[in-house]
Amino acid sequence: MTYTIEAFGDEFTNVTGIKATDDNNNVIEFINPTIQSLTVTPTTSQQTFNSGSVDGYKPVTVNAMPSGSATPASTISGTSATVSTGTNTLTLSKTVQNTPQVSAGYVASGTAGNTSVSLTASVTTKGATTYHPSTSNQTISSGTYTTGTQTINAVTLSNLTADNIKSGVTVKVGDSSDDDCVASVLGTYSGGGGGGVTIASATASTSSNTTSISFSVSGNPTAFMCMLDQQSSLGSTRYVIGVTYDGTTVRGTWGYSSSNTRYAYYSNSYFSKSYNNGTLTITTSSSSNGGYFRSGYTYRLIYAY
């Protein structure tokens, strides 16, 4: 007896069945092979799979995937990490934040990205400070970070006038260079020096009753006496008789007549003086407190400067 074995499929690349027949063309056996499915989960170890008693594939070897993991320090935010073994590629779709690289020399504390950073400050800081004019330089060290307003006070120049400075002497405020100093004034004062004073006189009059009178003087008086320089009868209006200044306080006397009685008053509260660029002005508080400098009458000033 002769048996014939036939295989069905596409040139044995895809076998779908095997049939055995005898000489009389009787089918002895028909076999449908079982194709076994295979699911492989990659691990860090190599895996080998045998078909065992089931047809469908030869032993399969799955190489191990690389061990380890992508770390924040090696994966930049916005990119992906890939792991490859042979022709198999595994892409990590989860992006991670790069570990912030922050210099403690420039940041005292704070956060970077989504990672909290605790730093020890090494920067020199300077809070709000007010600087007063000085004969010595005042500096802020290089590299200092200011955390508050730095205020440099202005200098006062109200008394820096030519007639307060000895003639021929130049006084500069600030840097010695004319381009950098705050002010530069050439003196015109020609009075005595070495602790002495100069005595001078001046007169002034007004065209109407007024509570102030001005004199042209050669310097800012250190003391003075002002008086009515001609005879004057008194009436109901209060007139200034005399004013003195001892270097500290301005005092004055004024008088008036009422019911054939003459009155004179004295006060250190109702008189004041001011000086500006060669002009001395004496002022009373009001017509009743201090009185008027009388219209058409001359007042003489004797002063030291």
Q: What is the pLDDT of residues 184-229, one digit of tens each?
A: 888 887 765 545 567 778 888 888 899 999 999 988 899 999 998 8
Q: How confident is the model over 247-269, as pLDDT tens digits?
A: 999 999 999 988 888 888 999 89
Assess whether 186 and 210 both reside in one domain. no
Q: Is residue 10 part of a domain?
A: yes
Q: State how far Cα 248 lies from the chain centre.
A: 44
Residue 121 lies in a domain: no
Report the 10 Å Cβ neighbour count for 255: 18
- Confirm whether 70 is domain-assigned: no
Same-domain check for residues 174 and 236: no
203 & 289 share domain: yes
Residue 209 lies in a domain: yes
Task: Scan for tokens 């003075």, then name that residue.
Answer: 224
Q: Would 56 be classed as within a structural domain? A: no
Task: Provide the number of structural domains found in the chain.
Answer: 3
52 φ/ψ sector (left φ>0, alpha ψ -120 to 50, else beta): left
Kindly state whether residues 223 and 249 are assigned to the same domain.
yes
Are 264 and 234 members of one domain?
yes
pTM above 0.85, yes or no: no
Considering the domain architecture, whether residues 224 and 275 belong to the same structural domain is answered as yes
Full residue range of the structural domain in which residue 11 is found: 1-34
Query: What residue type is 265 in one-letter code?
Result: Y
Residue 8 has what pLDDT? 54
Q: Is 4 a member of any domain?
A: yes
Written as six digits, the tokens of 148 are 């508050």
Instruction: Judge if 279 and 247 occupy the same domain.
Output: yes
Q: What pLDDT, in 10s, does the model give residues 92-127? A: 555 445 555 555 445 544 544 445 555 555 678 889
Specify if 181 maps to a domain: yes
Q: Are residues 172 and 213 part of one domain? A: no
Read off the pLDDT of residues 14-60 as tens digits, 9 standing for 90 and up.
555 666 666 777 666 555 555 566 777 788 788 877 765 555 556 67
Task: Please check whether residues 181 and 205 belong to one and the same domain.
Answer: no
